[in-house]
Amino acid sequence: HGVGVGVRARAPWPGSRGHSGSQRYLRRRAVRRAAQPAQSLRVLAMVGTPTKQRDFRFCIDRGGTFTDVYAEVPDGSPPSEGKKSSFRTLKLLSEDPANYESAPREGIRRILEEVTGETIPRDAPVPTDRIEWIRMGTTVATNALLEREGARSALVVTEGFGDLLAIGNQARPDIFDLEIKRPSRLYERVVEAAERVRLFSGIDGGSSGSEAATEGLKIVTGVTGEAMLVEKPLDVESLRPELQALLDEGIRSLAVVLMHSYAFPDHEAAVGKLAAEMGFTQVSLSSALVPMVRAVPRGHTASVDSYLTPCIREYLDTFLRGFDDGLRDGVKVSFMQSDGGLTPAERFTGYKAILSGPAGGVVGYAITTRAETTQPVIGFDMGGTSTDVSRFDATYEQVTETETAGVTVQAPQLDINTVAAGGGSRLTFRSGTFRVGPESVGSQPGPVCYRKGGANLAVTDANLLLGRVLPEYFPKIFGADEDEPLDAASTRSAFEAEARKINQELGLVGTDQEMSVEEVALGYVKVANEAMCRPIRQITESKGFDTASHVLAAFGGAGPQHACAIARSLGMSTVFVHRFCGILSAYGMGLADVVAETQRPFAGSYPKHGGAAPSDARAVMNELAERCLERLISQGFDRVKECECEVFLNLRYEGTDTAIMVPEPEDGDFARAFGERFEREYGFKLVGRDLLIDDVRVRGIGKSTLLQRVKIGPSGTGKLPDPDSVARVYFEGGWREAPVFLLEQLGAGAELEGPSVVMNGTATCIIEPGCVAEVTEYGDLKIGVDVKDEVKDDVFTSEVLDSSEVLDSSKVPDAVQLSIFNNRFMGIAEQMGRTLQRTSVSTNIKERLDFSCALFGPDGGLVANAPHVPVHLGAMSETVRWQLKHWAQNGGLDEGDVLVTNHPMAGGSHLPDITVVTPVFRNGELVFLVASRGHHADVGGITPGSMPPFSRTIADEGAAIEAFKLVRGGTYDEEGITALLTSPSTGSPGTRKLADNLSDLNAQVAANRRGIGLIQELMDEWGERTVTAYMGHVQDNAELAVRDMLREAAERLASRFGTVPGDPSKVALSAEDKMDDGSVVRLTLTLDMAEGGAVFDFTGTGGEVLGNWNAPPAVTCAAVIYCVRCLVNQEIPLNQGCLKPIEIIIPEGSFLSPSETAAVVGGNVLTSQRVTDVCLAAFEACANSQGCMNNLTFGDETFGYYETIAGGAGAGPAWDGASGVQCHMTNTRITDPEILERRYPVVLRRFSLRRGSGGAGEHAGGDGVLREIEFLSPVTVSVLTERRAFAPRGLNGGEDGAAGRNTLVHASDGREINLGNKNSVEVRAGDLLRIATPGGGGFGAKPKEK
């Protein structure tokens, strides 16, 4: 928020004089700036105006490959004419050790030498007497994190939590990759500190028996105002030997994260003091960096800071030591932080440096576009390997938590979304579709055209072939001697081979549909454009904004090449390309302000009536504001003239996890501002809920000297100059001649009609047919999209599409449009999921992400299933088909109906998973259905949480709903759904969490509504006939991919096991495994090499059991489709086509197809894992994973809590199994330890890896985890687990993993009781539950030691 809602600071701070609108001095700085003439942007001068000699200002973006420099320099006018400025730009290699030590310093030296005419030797200190300031952004921190080349560091953490950051949220990054790749940890060693602090709740002093446990212990008031119990004081000296051992190993950097240090930082401070005294050069305390609740992201942030800050310091030292002594005394050196604000070099730290470079670009386009438009703006920064998108609307959009290189960082950062599609993204054609990325060809060898031996085509190659990259305007830096131009001939040759392959695979050779080389290249560009549209839709539509109402600001090396097509696809009418688009990140440094931030956790409530913030919160605001102001004043800013503060409250509704950082509005009513934003983003209000304040944040802003925007001369006669050349550029419909203009030769007011090309340094701007570009007074391009009457290039009208025979579903689909529709259908399912997550209330859906969303055809066939929870994959199709059949016989479906079901016999999984289905009508006809399934906190049954270990029939498990219209013709039936949930017809106890059920059902309805809106938009854009045709085509495409995989698998396995006697085209395999009660899952797998088909025959599987691990057929279907998708090992849409080559045989009466009254709650969470293990074992894909979800529930009549716990993953033929991770059919997250302890009457005593539990082998299985929970009050505890009797199996000589174990330790006498695999017990205060989860099996025989 370098600009935003601000509080102008006076002396004293206004809040101390009483609260009123006139005393807060609020104003929106971005709007103020936009209202000024653009050339006046530099009127905000620092205190102590520099001497006349200091007339150089440098803005530098040090990237991974190139360093960009923008310098404001004197223009050489005589003093009598006043001080005037000109500029210089420079681009040089970031690493060139043969010629210079520091690229930014070398850039400064070259410009000083050029402008002053004075020789400055490279080995001499660079003079600083004429430099006013230097502002820099750098990717040094980001690259060190990505490449894991930071400082050697260690972690100090509370005893029992040494593996907390390694386990993280326990989710795996790619649910379909059997080789689970988790980022390597940043720290080398872990020291566990014998200390423990926790919240002291009313429970602790009660009559439950826990009172004695707190006698003699210290109770203190924490930073939040809450009572904190110091259970185990820190003996800081006990850490000295371990810290000394780290120093002896050469480790000098330390991260410290102790439980609840956000509220009680004393222990961390003591560790930090000792470490500094002992000689650690970097100590990062989590409580000092981000004093916010949630130990895992706070700990990761401290770890990142300790890992990266030494790299930043080393980089700064290298940069600074090449200047003369004047640099430290008279030159202000600032660095861009991830939040878009500058900070002095000495305050620049690792965890705030990750988005340092991209943040400059956001500031650059945000400030400059405000001079041209009042519309909100989307930043589109397309580089070599990825594309960054962001949004600006008078204020910068920020987030407080992001993930970079697999590490969660908790700090204010600009909300920049990155997609793996850039100029270097690899182009591949697989299974009938065009693919762009996510793999990159890199810079070595790079695209084919780089003359470095690259064999893989990239987006840059496609643009080169289409005439959108012009070699004659590109630097000649290629080839062995780095003096040749781009190699257009090799690129064309490679595309000719690609076109031959594609036409052959699609059967188009010799037909009128045969694709030309240019059509293939354009097809890849279209697919790349669609991939880049997805994150833009995400950051707009998912927050309640209309994408089409934005301006697209394109920059970066490749952004302007794609901007017109991207804008057209998104319905945008204007594109803005900055004059310095190729170096906009550097330019933006000169438009940013210096910031000083501070934050404090706060545990309080906002007044129910709204209005002004409560006095205790206001007091914290005042204190924090003074702290920010002091930091700014110490840097030379004038308190009154140059400083202002922005105040934020982090607010959330009670009982939810959706906190929003709300800036203080004009009227000071944070509650109103929060409510409006919550309703806009989530579509509803939570009436009657208390509003809680989690944090107070203040951002101090020092208004600094800004760059002077330099105008260009007018176009004069109004006529365009002669083009520099004429290029041939390929668009839809063929080659077009396009004049090429040099931007520096165009005057203000000049208009260019498309097609034309504007060269802006090394950046190429393609103005497409139908578009018109105007040169602004500052030399920028403002492009109107489709303002001329031209045939649209990338998006046909629905009339054109609907009249085209090629789009008939009986014909061969267009491979390019197939790729685009695959993306669009999946994008709709993903946006439904984001809506559901944001609008839900329960922890299960919002935090643990136990939900799935999908689209279906009018026959109930799956079209796209967003990859949320694998056990839901494909299973919802049975649900939708059952509903279609049921309602066809019971009154039919009408527009406005919404259906609810959870019954296993109606295609459900288990009762807590409630599915909401909404039909989609168009012109009175059913065209689609959308559905969302979420795990509800409670639906009744004999135990809280509705996961009873001892259920014998479905009546024990809660409310079972076969079919119910939650909404009938637009009318919501709350009374009806309430009756079904609270008074089940089976006689089961009703739900204990009705309010949460209703809220989550409303969220599912909202998610479905979102999906319907997106489907209707898609049909408006492409036409109903086209969309429905491609609904079938994407399923056919998935079928093709699965058949290809099955053929390959059959051929591989045939070479090992032989074929079926008498039928050489088939391979028969078998596998079986047991549940802990001995029930067998038996599979005979027959693969057909000729057809690419498979039969999964579960004949021989055990019969229905008098227990709850019976599994409805939909669960087995989900397990099979999950395994098939894992083995395909490529991005394909999850739809009905995946199952077309597959036949699944499940014997009636088995526990995989039980009776209607059978208990099934464990089938979804336990048996599904065993079916998966058996299927993958038959393919010899990997050893068994932990084979269990380790379900734990506890609660009473007032609350219920549910979690699934990670374990060890099975090893494979080329990898070790991952440790402490969710496996196969689930990928739900686990609640952060501090959140768990704040909300429930428990203390988490240990959460660590269970070392040695993974099976040995050539590749070892992953380790399970050890989780110990102490209960502070009497509750009912239930465990529903497997693999406690039969261990996860190894494969091909690998050893088995260790079986799990559930143990209850009684507080009264210390007895340890084995609970077995399924149990429900009443615990007392002080009792401890210890869950040891299974390890994964090993793969291959362990090599013998020599």
Quick: pLDDT tens for 345-403. Answer: 888 998 888 888 888 889 989 888 887 888 999 999 887 777 889 999 888 888 878 88
Q: Whose CA is closest to 1123, among 1099, 1105, 1100, 1096? A: 1096
- Span 114-136, average pLDDT: 91
Point out the least confidently predicted range of 275-284, 859-868, 1251-1260.
Answer: 859-868
Asked if residue 19 has pLDDT above 60, the reply is no
- Counting every residue written for the chain, the total comes to 1346
Please give the average per-residue pLDDT across 1249-1255, as a whole number: 97
Which residues make Cβ contacts (< 8 Å) with residue 332, sequence separation at least 6?
46, 132, 133, 134, 344, 635, 636
pLDDT band at 918 (very low <50, low <70, confident <90, very high): very high
Task: Write down the H helix ranges in 507-652.
Answer: 517-541, 559-570, 584-589, 615-633
Half-sphere exposure of 883 (CA within 13 A, CB side): 32
Assess whether pLDDT exceeds 80 at residue 811. Answer: no
**pLDDT for res 23:** 28
Query: Tell me, what's the pLDDT at 840?
Result: 79
Q: Residue 680 pLDDT > 60, yes or no?
A: yes
Provide mean pLDDT across the span 1255-1265: 97
The token pair at 1194 is 């506890």
What region, left, alpha or beta, does residue 757 occupy, with left being phi > 0 and alpha being psi -120 to 50 degrees? beta
Above 80 in pLDDT, residue 335?
Answer: yes
Pairing verdict, β 772-775 and 862-865? unpaired
What is the predicted pLDDT for the residue at 202?
60
Q: Mean pLDDT for the chain?
A: 85
Q: Which whole-number Å values give the CA distances from 808 to 814, 1062, 1137, in the listed order?
A: 10, 41, 18
Beta strands (DSSP E) in 1183-1300 are 1191-1195, 1200-1204, 1242-1250, 1264-1271, 1275-1280
> What pLDDT, on a 0 to 100 scale, did the predictor assign at position 1182?
95
- CA dihedral (1128, 1132, 1134, 1139) positive or negative: negative
Q: Say if residue 1070's pLDDT is above 80.
A: yes
Question: Is the pLDDT assigned to residue 703 strictly greater than 60?
Answer: yes
In the prediction, which pLDDT does 32 show?
Answer: 31
Rounded to a whole number of angstroms, the distance between the first and last alpha carbons of the chain is 62
Looking at residue 813, what is its pLDDT?
79
Write the pLDDT tens digit of every residue in 1114-1136.
899 889 988 988 887 777 667 88
Residue 1332 C-alpha from the chain's centroid? 31
User: Which pair of structure tokens corresponds to residue 840?
Assistant: 């839900």
**Residue 204 above 70 pLDDT?**
no
| Mean pLDDT (whole number) for 537-555 | 84
Pairing of β 898-901 and β 964-968: antiparallel
Neighbour count for residue 217 (Cβ, 10 Å): 13
pLDDT for res 1220: 97
Quickly state the pLDDT bin for 13 (edges 50, 70, 90). Answer: very low
Looking at the DSSP bridge assignments, the partners of residue 426 are 458
Residue 79 is predicted with a pLDDT of 59
Indicate the helix (H) or strand (E) that contains 310.
helix 295-320
DSSP class of 511:
S
Lowest-confidence pick of 15-24, 469-478, 498-507, 1212-1221: 15-24
Task: Put residue 1310 in one of left, alpha, beta given phi > 0 → left and psi -120 to 50 → alpha.
Answer: left
Q: Output phi, psi for 549, to 5 deg.
A: -85, 5
Report how far residue 1181's alpha carbon sits from residue 580's, in angstroms, rounded to the nearest whole number. Answer: 52
Tens digit of each residue's pLDDT (9 = 90 or more) over 837-874 = 877 777 777 777 788 899 999 999 889 887 677 777 66
The Cα 312–Cα 943 span in angstroms is: 54
Kindly tell me if the per-residue pLDDT of 543 is higher than 80: no
34-70 pLDDT, tens per residue?
Answer: 333 333 322 223 333 444 478 899 999 988 778 889 9
For residues 418-431, average pLDDT: 82
**Nearest of 1333, 1181, 1336 to residue 1257 by alpha carbon:** 1336
pLDDT digits (tens, 9 = 90+) for 976-1010: 999 999 999 878 899 988 988 998 998 899 899 98
Is the separation of the CB atoms in 298 and 290 below 8 Å? yes
How many C-beta neighbours within 10 Å does residue 469 have? 24
Q: What distance in Å separates the CA atoms of residue 269 and residue 256, rounded to the nearest whole number? A: 9
At residue 733, the pLDDT reads 83
Segment 461-478 shows an average pLDDT of: 88
Q: What is the pLDDT of residues 638-660, one digit of tens each?
A: 888 888 898 999 998 887 767 88
Q: Using one digit for the tens of pLDDT, what is the confidence trace for 1275-1331? A: 999 999 999 999 999 999 999 999 999 999 999 999 999 999 999 999 999 999 999
* CB contact set of 357 (below 8 Å; sequence gap of 6+): 61, 62, 63, 137, 138, 139, 142, 336, 585
Coil, strand, or helix at residue 366? helix
pLDDT at position 12 over 70: no
What are the phi and psi torsion angles at 981 (to 5°)?
-85, -35
pLDDT interval class at 1253 (50, 70, 90): very high
Single-letter residue type at 770:
G
Residue 810 has pLDDT above 50, yes or no: no
Q: Is the pLDDT of residue 31 over 60?
A: no
